[in-house]
A and B are shown apart, each in its own frame.
Chain A
Amino acid sequence: MLYREAGDFKTSYVADNQTFPIKFDRYGYYFILGFAFLVMPFIINDYWANSIVVPFLIYTIAALGLNILIGYCGQLSLGTGAFMACGAYGSYKLMTAFPELNIIFVIIIAGFITAAVGVLFGLPSLRIKGFYLAVATLAAQFFLIWLFTRTAWFYNYSPTGMISAPTRDVFGVAVTGPRASAVSMYMICLCFLVVTAWLARNLTRGSLGRQWMAIRDMDIAAEIIGVNPLMAKLTAFAVSSFFVGISGALLFTVYLGAAEAGEAFGIDKSFLVLFMVIIGGLGSIFGAFAGAFFLIVGPVLLKLLLVNGLGWPTDLAAHLEIMIIGALILVFLIVEPHGIAALWRTIKEKLRLWPFPY
């Protein structure tokens, strides 16, 4: 089957507007979805889940959220770590205050709480832009982390200052706490990722997404066209923080199990997710996946290659791994400044014409 649109006639605007207009892409997408839901649960083990798959799924959600804010709406934010902490502490307070509440609702409500906080810290965006806004969101990062570490109420006055997730289950299967199995952790993260990716795609292809992109590309013209900048920017902050909050809640409840704000959600997390978005590709849903894959799975694969494949000592490999990943980031940004998603787009365009050059 050739990678081509020809012969695949669209007879309605619904068909023309679909996410994967090319048949090959569509089947590829169904295949990956089928593999993730039907095959992975049977082959996944603790090592794969803990070191690769679950963090990849969780950070992809965060990257999706940040991509909406930076890539689609053009509002630079360095507060991602703090918003993830918001989701984590929100879910912790909800889990301890309402032990009966299903963990799925806990995570979703934590997302909404983070959305509200995000809107609050998004207010400066109405006046300031670009790097100045980044500095303003940096204030959110430091303030929220300070709040979570200094206010004992947030960690239920525990002497260590840590929050730890009690065991909760979905349909009788533990998904958080020490009893949670790799499969259940994987499945809950996968479900959240699929739903958030679907929501992100819907929001970005409709009227709201176009308003965000209009603000990103030329805010003054957008306002004269009829975009309300207040609404567009604040909805972007809300939706973005919602996703980031869900990711933070999942990171804490499912993956880490126990966390301390300054350590687990520091500024390095903000930068990590920012790099994912930039390397993956701004303004692209696929970019969020690619960026998270590159920065989460990349180092692990590299380590496997160096230590298990070439038999190098672990400490040497650990240092080299950092250097190689750093060099790869540079190479990527030089070769394709618009990220892996743009590279992928170019490849697809070439494929559509193959074997002819144009």
Chain B
Amino acid sequence: MNGQGDAMRDTAPDEGYVTADGRKIGGVAMEMRNITLRFGGVVAIKDISFDIRWGEIRAIIGPNGAGKSSMLNVISGFYHPQEGDVIFKGYKRPRMRPYQVARMGIARTFQNIALFEGMSVLDNIMTGRLHHMKANLFQQAMWWGRAQREEDANREQVEKIIDFLEIQHIRKTPVARLPYGLKKRVELARALAAEPSILLLDEPMAGMNVEEKEDMSRFILDVNDEFGTTTVLIEHDMGVVMDLSDRVVVMDYGKKIGDGTPDEVRNNEEVIKAYLGVAHE
């Protein structure tokens, strides 16, 4: 990246590990190093460090207002932390606009659905493949050569994702007409269409019924299995988080209070105190 040599790496490459159920987890994909994010006098994130490994499902949990979504916004380049660095693929990431981050292979979904309401499902998902399409303005205006070739090649990829997420029947429906659960699925499809190396999911199951949650969980696991997509997940449903994720970061009031496998987190004194049921004094 950026033509930097190995000598410039900010982290040493490492091996990774194999999970209990036999999935191979790679080395560190992204490292958040001492991130502090302030909005005026409010400290949203306070000196937080954690890493994300290739191929794992990493959850970020915490009570409302803990700073989880802010953390996701830092990763996707929407917020720029006052202190600390984001290390991606071993190199310190310079300050970037969100669209540049997206082009590096980081895709996300949003807490409140952020689909393009005026477009069809197909167009929404095709928009996710933006940076796979290189035809310039004049080629597109003529609809000739590269523009048409690209459109068809990318359509084929998009159809694979449509098949995968079982939304064939709504491909030409305007998004505004879809029910909530399907919109969430289309949003996942749009993020997947980018073929991201890291997928950020901000509360993918918020406001869903049990059946929809089961479907969504299955899709997240399948995506991870089939494409090996590294997934970072924010979710409030503890059962879902503990079942799906390989490692969990727990945040409270902008601080990290726990980090580890679901079992470790479940038994962590401080996490129990702050989050899993014991009332604040």
Q: Which residues of A approach B to under 8 Å, CB–CB?
A: 12-14, 17, 199, 202-203, 205-208, 210-211, 213-214, 216-218, 220-229, 235, 239, 283
Do B99 and A217 touch across chains, with their CB atoms under 8 A apart? no
Q: Which of A203, A224, A226, A283 contacts B141 (CB 8 A)?
A: A203
B101 cross-chain contacts in A, Cβ below 8 A: 224
Residues of A within 8 A of B117 (CB): 217-218
Is there a chain A Cβ closer than 8 Å to B247's Cβ? no
**Smallest distance from the beta carbon of A241 to chain B beta carbons, Å?**
14
Residue in A17, A208, A216, A223 whose CB lies within 8 Å of B99: A223
Interchain residue pairs with CB less than 8 A apart (10): A12-B152, A203-B140, A203-B141, A208-B137, A210-B127, A218-B115, A218-B117, A224-B108, A225-B99, A225-B194
Whole-angstrom distance between the Cβ of A198 and the nearest chain B Cβ: 8
Complex CA gap A227/B133 in Å reads 12
Task: Specify the main secondary structure of chain B where it touches its partner.
Answer: helix
- In chain A, what residue has the closest Cβ to B144? A202
Cα A301 to Cα B133 in complex, Å, equals 47
A227 near B114: Cβ-Cβ < 8 Å = no
Residue of B nearest to A215 (CB): B116
Give B66-108 as 1s and 0s: 1 = Cβ < 8 Å from A's Cβ atoms.
0000000000111000000000000000000111011100011
Q: Which of B118-126, B160-168, B270-278 contacts A (4 or more CB under 8 A)?
A: B118-126
Q: Which residues of B contact A220 (CB under 8 A)?
A: 78, 114
- B97 — which chain A residues lie within 8 A by C-beta? 223, 228
Q: Among A14, A203, A217, which residue has its beta carbon within 8 angstroms of that of B152? A: A14
Q: State A133–B101 Cα separation when bound (angstroms).
A: 28
Given contacts A213-B116, A224-B99, A227-B130, contact A207 B141 (CB under 8 A): no
- A35–chain B nearest beta-carbon distance, Å: 24
Question: Contact between A226 and B119 (Cβ–Cβ < 8 Å)?
Answer: no
Chain A positions within 8 Å of B77 at CB level: 224
* Partner pick for A217 among B107, B116, B135, CB 8 A cutoff: B116
Q: Which one of B114, B127, B128 has the highest number of Cβ atoms from chain A below 10 Å of its Cβ?
A: B127
Q: Does B24 contact A (CB under 8 A)?
A: no
B243 to chain A, nearest CB (A): 28
Q: Which of B76, B98, B123, B133 contacts A213 (CB 8 A)?
A: B123
Contact residues in B for A239 (Cβ distance below 8 Å): 137
Do A218 and B99 have beta carbons less than 8 Å apart? no
Residues of B within 8 Å of A14, CB to CB, are 148, 152
Nearest neighbor of A200 in chain B, beta-carbon distance = B141
Which A residues are CB-close (under 8 A) to B107?
225
Nearest residue, chain A, Cβ from B148: A14
The residues of B that contact A225 with a CB separation of less than 8 Å are: 99, 102, 107, 127-128, 130, 190, 194
Are the C-beta atoms of B102 and A199 separated by less than 8 Å? no
Is A224's CB under 8 angstroms from B119's CB?
Answer: no
Specify the chain B residue showing the minimal Cβ separation from A216: B118
Question: Which 8 residue pairs across A and B have the least CB separation, nearest first?
Answer: A226-B102, A221-B114, A217-B116, A202-B143, A207-B133, A13-B155, A206-B140, A210-B127
Which B residue sits closest to A72, measured CB to CB?
B118
Distance between Cα atoms of A1 and B196 in the complex (Å): 47
B12 within 8 A of A: no
Inside 8 A of A235's CB, which chain B residues have their CB? 137
- B159 contacts across to A, CB distance below 8 A: 13
Whole-angstrom distance from the CB of A242 to the nearest CB of chain B? 10
A19, closest chain B residue (CB): B143
The chain A residue sitting closest to B126, CB to CB, is A210
Q: How far is the CB of B215 from chain A (nearest CB, A)?
A: 23
Q: What's the minimum C-beta distance from B161 to chain A, rounded to whole angstroms?
A: 14
A residues in contact with B140, CB < 8 Å:
202-203, 206-208
